[in-house]
Amino acid sequence: MVGNTSLLKQDKWRIIDQSTTGLHVSALHSFGMDDTLCSSVGSGIVPATARTWVHDRTIVLGIQDTRLPHLKDALAFLKEQGYQYIVRNSGGLAVVLDKDVLNISLILPEQERGIDINSGYETMWELINYMFKEYGKTIEAKEIVGSYCPGSYDLSIDGKKFAGISQRRLRSGVAVQIYLCINGSGKQRAEIIKQFYAAGLQGETTKFAYPEIKPEVMASLAELLDVPLTVDQVMTKLLLALKDHAEFLFADQLQGEELPLFESYYNRVVDRNEKIMQAFR
């Protein structure tokens, strides 16, 4: 874990809460937002920012997912199940977003020596540990084989994954992003991705090794902690945790020069997504 030099400790934490408004816009909005914040936080015009976001029934695909041999069939399956889909501009593979999945982005300024990749991941791990310390459960950071979008900083309790962390770096800003499955069935979410890959591969062997999903290795926090838990309750835990790590905490929205920046980054994300996906329509 991060020691005395914890990146969670900031003079100011700025909060942008889009956990409700995000339900009404495409997830592309969120990737445009995080790029904007990387730029504005990285250039020092605003302080370190924590942004929360929720999007309903959306599958966020990675670039490798668009190379599935039967992608059209896989996308048709998602549509049949009532899911939208987008391709993100950061690494990783397919993940499930819905109204019970809270995403948190911590946007940090690169320091003089820079923030190494592990420090970014460990900052988020430290935050989640702090938020849920009252339950007395050990939250591990290690790859959970059989989960969707597996990585070395999958967060799990008792061997079951409830969260995944990714990073985006742009213009001296670092966005560390996590999805937290708050409640609902982690197994059912994993089943969707399992069937997506089954439709996309149809038994073919590919150069890239897509994950073999085992739905039983994924769960929500409500399932793992055996408590009722809502996105709003976790939002409160987040705000209290950040308050304990800052001299000053304040709610905000995009300001001044961030507004034209967002328009530019959002359009870029939309155009890029459109170019990638148009071949499969």
Q: 38 in a domain, yes or no?
A: yes
Q: 28 in a domain, yes or no?
A: yes
Q: 19 in a domain, yes or no?
A: yes
Q: 5 in a domain, yes or no?
A: no
The predicted-structure confidence for 163-199, as pLDDT tens digits, reads as follows 999 998 887 899 999 999 999 999 999 999 999 999 9
Q: 3 in a domain, yes or no?
A: no
The span from the CA of 269 to the CA of 26, in Å, is 11
The dihedral region occupied by 168, where left means phi > 0, alpha psi between -120 and 50, and beta the remainder, is beta
Q: 2 in a domain, yes or no?
A: no
Give the active site residues: 149
Q: What is the pLDDT of residue 92?
A: 83
Number of domains in the chain: 1
CATH number at residue 111: 3.30.930.10
DSSP H or E segment with residue 121: helix 117-131
Q: 1 in a domain, yes or no?
A: no
pTM of the model: 0.94
Burial (CB count within 10 angstroms: exposed 0-12, middle 13-18, buried 19+), residue 236: exposed
Query: What residues make up the domain containing 177?
Result: 10-278
Q: 96 in a domain, yes or no?
A: yes
pLDDT tens for the chain, 281 residues long, are 444 468 899 999 999 999 998 888 999 999 999 999 999 999 999 999 999 999 999 999 998 999 999 999 999 999 999 999 999 866 689 999 999 999 999 999 986 567 788 889 999 999 999 999 999 999 999 999 999 999 999 999 999 999 999 998 887 899 999 999 999 999 999 999 999 999 999 999 999 999 999 999 999 999 999 999 999 999 999 999 999 999 999 999 999 999 999 999 999 999 988 888 777 66
Residues in the chain: 281
